[in-house]
Amino acid sequence: MKNAKTQGIILRSRNYSDYDQILTVFTRDFGKIKVMAKGVRRSKSKNRGGTQVFSLVQMELYRGKNFFRLIQSHSVKSFIEIRESYDKLLAASEWTEVLDQLISGEEADPSLFSLAVSGLTYLAYQETGKTLVVFEAKLLYQLGYLAPETSCQICNNQEKLYFTNRGDCFCENCQEPSSKNYLDKAALKTLCFFISQEPEQIQRLKVSDQTLSLIALFLHNRISAHLGRELVIFGYPNHSIDIKS
């Protein structure tokens, strides 16, 4: 194939041999791909600035037998603010890990790519804890792993609702919560607001630490249930909970 140009987010990088790296990149035109970046670890490499994790980059690629091969890359947005804040670095690490784990293979999805870029942008410039939870909720919804239910799946009651860790919506009259890790009515309404509204509107909403913690735990349980294993995350502190408890 001819060389192709696309934008992408560098999700992760792995050293390969003395001077090369293998990049995991979520691209606008090809979906999630592996890219062989030859010589990029050399101090004089022209592509070195365009291969940094968390960066939005413009890439020129050639498709080889096993990998895309990097021809050239330059940074469109480096999100330096993320690297200058420990909290933002942890949150961005979790965001890119969730993207890497949930996005499957080479399938272009411009709306999903836009969401991924928006997530990094808001993490760089806005309050971090709520932003991470909001974009994880939007990602799960967009991928079809989360539906904004507002009534009991058994009796259609809209009072005393809760979400189980599996994502089922029940009222307390039909089924008692089996654990403390469920979404009560306030958290359920907040989650639905996160899913349905634009980030600008959500930023103006005040959410209690307890409600945000319930939603964060619920989302990570949903992600782990989909993966069939516990999600390895970075324990972002502003969730105010021990995610693994």
The burial class, CB within 10 Å (0-12 / 13-18 / 19+), for 245 is exposed
Asked whether residue 136 falls in the same domain as residue 220, the answer is: yes
This prediction's pTM: 0.84
Asked whether residue 63 falls in the same domain as residue 95, the answer is: no
Asked whether residue 56 falls in the same domain as residue 103, the answer is: no
Look at residue 245 and tell me if it is in a domain.
Answer: no
pLDDT of residue 151: 74
pLDDT of residue 152: 80
pLDDT of residue 237: 46
pLDDT of residue 213: 86
Q: How many structural domains comprise the chain?
A: 2
Q: Which of 57, 78, 99 is the last residue of a domain?
A: 78
pLDDT of residue 185: 73
CATH at 8? 2.40.50.140
Write the secondary structure of 105-125 as one string of H (helix), E (strand) and C (coil): CCCCCHHHHHHHHHHHHHHHH
Asked whether residue 111 falls in the same domain as residue 15, the answer is: no
pLDDT of residue 202: 92
**Mean pLDDT of successive 10-residue segments in the chain (245 residues)?**
90 92 96 93 88 95 88 94 92 94 91 97 90 94 76 78 68 74 76 91 89 86 80 53 32
Asked whether residue 195 falls in the same domain as residue 103, the answer is: yes
pLDDT of residue 167: 62
CATH at 100? 1.20.1440.120
Asked whether residue 29 falls in the same domain as residue 145, the answer is: no
Asked whether residue 57 falls in the same domain as residue 123, the answer is: no
Asked whether residue 20 falls in the same domain as residue 137, the answer is: no
Look at residue 217 and tell me if it is in a domain.
Answer: yes
What is the span of the domain harbouring residue 57? Answer: 4-78
Asked whether residue 41 falls in the same domain as residue 106, the answer is: no
User: Do the Cβ atoms of 224 and 216 come closer than 8 Å?
Assistant: no
Look at residue 58 and tell me if it is in a domain.
Answer: yes
pLDDT digits (tens, 9 = 90+) for 190-244: 998 999 999 999 988 999 888 888 888 888 888 887 787 777 665 554 443 333 3
Nearest to 73 by CA among 84, 83, 61, 88: 61
pLDDT of residue 80: 94
pLDDT of residue 242: 33
Asked whether residue 232 falls in the same domain as residue 191, the answer is: yes
pLDDT of residue 20: 92
pLDDT of residue 239: 43
Q: Which of 32, 57, 78 is the last residue of a domain?
A: 78
- Summary mean pLDDT of the chain: 85
Asked whether residue 136 falls in the same domain as residue 212, the answer is: yes
pLDDT of residue 110: 95
Asked whether residue 68 falls in the same domain as residue 155, the answer is: no
User: Do the Cβ atoms of 117 and 25 come closer than 8 Å?
Assistant: no
Count CB neighbours of 191 within 10 A.
25
Between strands 31-37 and 20-27, the pairing is antiparallel
Q: Which of 78, 98, 120 is the last residue of a domain?
A: 78
